[in-house]
């Protein structure tokens, strides 16, 4: 029998009305979408997300947002609608500046969250972060085990080749025209890729790139400038009279400019791009089923952690996010592990602090979330369930409460240490003796894989506290996460990490 306990990063969102906390994959997708910065993500990733503001090119690879959208298209373009293979499944053959985008996403995937889902999130954040529409996201993509065939047509190919390539990807000729326009509203033509179009010295923003429409924002200038003849898109005007690489011109004009004229309306351009970019990231192999759309919950729990503190007490840490930052009276309540409610006031706590959540996506949706942090000691009878009272209204996970399903084995981050190796400390209740305490690590390479189990042994150097004995063990791996287990009287108790947290790249 396995008794599961959800630890560290646990995020709540609305998928359907029947959602209940926790749901590992959806929790993480929702957190990345609507909060951006999360516990457990390295500062490099936080800084990277901030680069999207304004979509200004940041380095010699140009705009981060443009790279993310381009990366996703190149991955999706492996799709073959005729046999249902390929799509957004991390089967991309990476090369050139696409490697920068792949590295941008490397800190996110784990045993629940696949690389291709992170790639899809990148499109959503890049689009709205540049002032574009909100692209709907679904989750559940599965990474391929090997690279797929290239599917992106090269600029020197014929119009018929383009139409056939997009047909295999699942798009009509008119949708091809619009999707190219949506993709080329950000970014530009790079000198390393097109040295005959962008010679050294013909640069903008001190970068070796000429923007498609002169603006870094997600707008329909790519359309209006094409229609009025003022475009600087080098894939339209070519260079030195050479039209071989004028692929945008061939695509845009292929239906007599009918589609481009329809996109001259900013509103139609935005809605069309939202639809087509959504379809692009939802293009997956036929044997993959995606979740419903990810929408934020009004009430969301995160960072749930129960562990012995330094002063012989158990400490419960968590955060609560509400979608409105209006003045509120928020209280955390809990019952002990026997499901009995404590005397009035003895099993409740107020937040230790609060902070506003501000991201381009929540701003575009008109949301104003606020996150409350709780860190409270609890009695040595432990805890079985918790809930909240918000302005006199009970919030209890749809009526079932937020359950702590076991407290027999707990990870203790405050006593774990990072040095030449990572020393993991676990707490096991001292009313029983475990026959084994161990972890199953997960390491990240090109995919996330489970590695050999590591046993933890009783650590006599740490005095018992809060009714727990302490076990420790060292892991010499790089960049890993793990699940923690204790076998007691023939039962296996598990503390399962369902988060984006990797050790030791970032440990808190």
**pLDDT per position as a tens digit, 103-133:** 778 777 888 889 999 999 999 999 998 999 9
Q: Where in the chain is the domain with CATH 1.10.420.10?
A: 41-281
Decide if 179 contacts 70 (C-beta within 8 A).
Answer: no
Decide if 197 contacts 208 (C-beta within 8 A).
Answer: no
Assigned architecture for domain 41-281: Orthogonal Bundle (1.10)
State the CB neighbour count (10 A cutoff) for residue 235: 22
pTM as predicted: 0.87
Per-residue burial over 379-397, b = 16 or more CB atoms within 10 Å of its CB, e = otherwise: eebbbbbbbbebeeeebeb
Q: What is the pLDDT of residue 58?
A: 54
Q: Which residues of the chain have pLDDT under 50?
A: 1-17, 40, 42, 44, 60, 202-206, 500-502, 504-508
Q: What is the pLDDT of residue 14?
A: 33
What sign results for the dihedral spanned by CA atoms 110, 116, 121, 127? positive
According to the CATH classification, is domain 298-403 in 1.10.3470? no
Using DSSP's 3-state secondary structure scheme, residue 255 falls into coil
Q: What is the pLDDT of residue 445?
A: 65
Q: Where in the chain is the domain with CATH 2.60.40.2440?
A: 409-497
Q: What is the pLDDT of residue 369?
A: 93
- Report the distance separating Cα 205 and Cα 210, nearest Å: 9
Residue 333: which of 320, 315, 345 has the closest Cα? Answer: 345
Q: What is the pLDDT of residue 219?
A: 96
- Report the distance separating Cα 113 and Cα 140, nearest Å: 8
Decide if 236 contacts 76 (C-beta within 8 A).
Answer: no
Residue 27: which of 41, 14, 36 has the closest Cα? Answer: 14
Assigned architecture for domain 409-497: Sandwich (2.60)
Q: What is the pLDDT of residue 190?
A: 78
Contacts of 471 (CB under 8 A, 6+ apart): 425, 426, 427, 428, 434, 437, 456, 457, 458, 459
**DSSP 8-state symbol, 338:** T
Q: Prior bond to 167 cis, omega within 30?
A: no
């Amino acid at each position: 029998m396995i008794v599961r306990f959800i630890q560290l990063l646990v995020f709540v969102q609305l998928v359907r009305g029947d959602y209940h906390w926790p749901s590992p994959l959806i929790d993480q997708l929702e957190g990345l979408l609507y909060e951006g910065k999360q516990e457990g993500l390295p500062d490099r990733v936080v800084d990277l997300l901030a680069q999207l503001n304004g979509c200004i090119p940041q380095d010699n690879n140009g705009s981060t947002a443009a790279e993310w959208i381009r990366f996703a298209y190149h991955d999706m373009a492996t799709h073959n609608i005729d046999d249902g293979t390929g799509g957004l499944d991390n089967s991309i053959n990476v090369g050139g500046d696409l490697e920068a985008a792949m590295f941008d996403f490397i800190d996110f995937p784990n045993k629940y969250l696949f690389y291709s889902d992170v790639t899809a999130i990148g499109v959503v954040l890049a689009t709205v972060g540049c002032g574009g529409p909100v692209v709907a996201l679904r989750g559940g993509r599965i990474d391929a085990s090997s690279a797929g065939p290239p599917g992106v047509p090269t600029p020197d190919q014929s119009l018929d080749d383009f139409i056939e390539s997009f047909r295999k990807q699942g798009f009509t000729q008119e949708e091809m025209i619009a999707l190219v326009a949506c993709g080329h509203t950000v970014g530009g033509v790079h000198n390393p890729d097109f040295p005959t179009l962008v010679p050294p010295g013909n640069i903008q923003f001190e970068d070796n790139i000429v923007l498609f429409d002169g603006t870094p924002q997600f707008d329909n200038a790519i359309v209006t400038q094409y229609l009025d003849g003022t475009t600087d898109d080098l894939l339209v005007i070519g260079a030195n009279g050479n039209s071989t690489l004028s692929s945008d011109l061939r695509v845009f004009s292929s239906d007599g400019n009918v589609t481009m004229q329809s996109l001259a309306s900013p509103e139609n351009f935005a809605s069309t791009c939202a639809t087509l970019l959504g379809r692009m990231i939802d293009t997956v192999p036929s044997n993959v089923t995606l979740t419903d759309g990810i929408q934020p919950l009004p009430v969301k729990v995160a960072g749930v952690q129960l562990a012995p503190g330094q002063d012989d007490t158990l400490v419960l840490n968590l955060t609560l996010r509400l979608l409105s930052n209006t003045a509120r009276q928020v209280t955390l309540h809990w019952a002990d592990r026997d499901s009995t409610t404590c005397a009035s006031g003895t099993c409740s706590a107020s937040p230790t602090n609060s902070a506003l959540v501000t991201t381009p996506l929540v701003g575009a949706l008109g949301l104003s979330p606020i996150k409350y942090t709780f860190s409270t000691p609890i009695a040595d009878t432990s805890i079985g369930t918790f809930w909240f009272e918000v302005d006199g209204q009970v919030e209890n996970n749809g009526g079932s409460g937020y359950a702590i399903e076991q407290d027999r084995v707990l990870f203790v981050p405050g006593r774990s240490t990072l040095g030449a190796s990572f020393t993991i400390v676990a707490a096991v209740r001292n009313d029983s003796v475990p026959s084994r305490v161990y972890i199953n690590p997960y390491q990240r390479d090109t995919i996330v894989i489970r590695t050999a189990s590591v046993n933890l042994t009783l650590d006599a150097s740490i005095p018992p506290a809060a009714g727990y004995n302490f076990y420790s063990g060292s892991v010499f791996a790089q960049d890993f996460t793990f699940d923690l287990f204790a076998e007691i009287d023939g039962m296996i108790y598990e503390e399962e990490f369902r988060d984006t947290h990797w050790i030791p790249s970032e440990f808190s």
